[in-house]
């Protein structure tokens, strides 16, 4: 049992935790986002393959492309060749003999090569990465720890040689207090120098909260963003532990509500009312921060908020982002705003030692491989369940996950 405290406008977004199927409203917003992603993908494929979106859509709608010949007919591929034919064509393009070896390097080895400096100037552009669930503490490369990320932003702000900051965000949100700690540092940094928030695949809820004070926001047309909403969730494990496992709980307490957050009983009406008021106030704060950061009216923000998700396409028309572009475009924009001719790029927070990171990645990969062996296709559902059990208190995060296949 999950006890969710929410404000009225955010109801449709948090209902996936409580419903066995999508609500009508959630289905509508997800469909709209998916349609934007599909249209954008079709347009890019049509342009790169010299075809049209209508024929591609018809082929997908009728599952027409069931053979490689059909793929050629619809211009999705250029032809069919064996490996030796591909190698011969490469050698011909390189102007080497048929018996000569191709001088090549594997992708894994190429990724280990030192990154060339774009320039050697004394001035710097700081690229700061904020990835994963937003949480208090240090976090790591897969989570946006407020202490670690805010420290990196502060370091870049106080460094006089850093002339602009690019804040690369890939997050569906998380803890509200941690989000505000990071947002405050972005606000202070934007007062001192240009700060470009660069959205990756998604920057929603808390991911948008931490970014709304940036000088400018850039995203791709298919970035999932928005989800300006707040909720609080408190798992009630009493039924599971008592009825299923046989564990029961007694307590001795000094005050009536000393066991408010234990998770071993249902919330009282008074406790729910307290939390609802807290959620409403936090939501109001969220609206104000977005309105101030985006130079919008609070009422206009509220009209597009309520926890609703938007594609980058819709976000641009609604004023939630300024322009389209990936990380490279965001860096170029930061260079323009800082009016730099020579510069070098630094990445923060500082990355781990390569050997240490390799061992950690290898260990994690091995553990994940074992999980996949045991659970197969069910593996994808483990992380969301794990995240649910870790939630406590007021949250600004996506209450669902979207997987596009």
- Tell me which residues are annotated as active site: 11, 205
Give the three-state DSSP class for 77. Answer: coil
Q: Which long-range contacts (CB under 8 A, 24 or more apart) does 184-190 make?
A: 184/150, 185/149, 185/150, 185/153, 185/154, 185/157, 186/153, 186/210, 186/211, 186/213, 186/214, 187/213, 187/293, 188/154, 188/157, 189/153, 189/154, 189/156, 189/157, 189/165, 190/214, 190/215
Q: What is the CA 46 to chain-centroid distance, rounded?
A: 27
Whether residue 78 is preceded by a cis peptide bond, meaning omega within 30 degrees of 0, is no
Q: Which long-range contacts (CB under 8 A, 24 or more apart) does 349-352 make?
A: 349/128, 349/129, 349/148, 349/149, 349/151, 349/152, 350/152, 351/141, 352/141
H or E element at residue 395: strand 393-397
In this structure, the strands spanning 162-171 and 143-145 are unpaired
Going through 334-392 in order, the beta strands assigned E by DSSP cover: 344-348
What is the C-alpha separation between 156 and 243, in angstroms, rounded? Answer: 53
DSSP character at residue 117: P
Q: Residue 30 to residues 60, 223, 230: CA-CA distances in angstroms?
A: 20, 13, 18
What is the C-alpha separation between 202 and 198, in angstroms, rounded? Answer: 10
Q: In DSSP terms, which residues pair with 216 in a beta bridge?
A: 196
Going through 205-250 in order, the beta strands assigned E by DSSP cover: 216-219, 224-226, 231-235
């Amino acid at each position: 049992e999950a006890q969710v405290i929410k404000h009225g406008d955010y109801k449709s977004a948090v209902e996936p935790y409580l419903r066995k199927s999508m609500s009508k409203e959630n289905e509508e917003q997800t469909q709209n986002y998916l349609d934007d992603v599909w249209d954008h993908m079709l347009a890019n494929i049509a342009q790169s393959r010299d075809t049209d979106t209508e024929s591609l859509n018809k082929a997908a709608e009728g599952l027409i492309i069931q053979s490689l010949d059909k793929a050629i007919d619809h211009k999705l591929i250029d032809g069919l060749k064996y490996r030796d034919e591909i190698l011969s064509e490469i050698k011909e393009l390189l102007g080497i003999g048929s018996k000569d070896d191709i001088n090549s390097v594997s992708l894994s080895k190429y990724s280990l090569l030192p990154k060339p400096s774009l320039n050697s100037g004394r001035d710097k552009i700081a690229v700061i990465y904020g990835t994963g669930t937003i949480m208090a503490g240090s976090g790591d490369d897969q989570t946006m720890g407020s202490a670690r990320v805010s420290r990196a932003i502060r370091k870049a702000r106080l460094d006089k040689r850093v002339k602009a900051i690019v804040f690369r965000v890939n997050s569906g949100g998380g803890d509200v207090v941690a989000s505000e700690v990071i947002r405050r540092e972005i606000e202070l940094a934007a007062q001192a120098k240009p700060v470009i928030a660069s959205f990756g695949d998604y920057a929603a809820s808390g991911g948008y909260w931490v970014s709304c004070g940036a000088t400018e926001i850039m995203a791709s047309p298919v970035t999932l963003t928005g989800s300006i909403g707040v909720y609080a969730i408190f798992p009630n494990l009493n039924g599971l532990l008592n009825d299923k496992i046989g564990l029961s709980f007694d307590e001795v307490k000094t005050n009536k509500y000393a066991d408010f957050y234990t998770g071993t009983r249902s919330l009282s009406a008074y406790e729910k009312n307290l939390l609802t008021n807290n959620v409403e106030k936090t939501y109001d704060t969220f609206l104000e921060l977005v309105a101030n950061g985006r130079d919008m009216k609070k009422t206009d923000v509220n009209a597009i908020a309520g926890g609703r998700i938007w594609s980058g396409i819709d976000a641009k028309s609604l004023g939630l982002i300024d322009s389209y572009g990936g990380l490279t475009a965001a860096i170029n924009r930061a260079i323009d705003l800082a009016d730099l001719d020579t510069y070098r790029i630094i990445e923060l927070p500082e990355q781990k030692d390569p050997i240490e990171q390799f061992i950690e990645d290898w260990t994690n990969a091995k553990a994940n491989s074992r999980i996949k062996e045991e659970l197969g296709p069910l593996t994808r559902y483990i992380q969301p369940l794990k995240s649910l059990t870790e939630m406590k208190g007021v949250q600004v995060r996506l209450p669902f996950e979207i997987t596009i296949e």
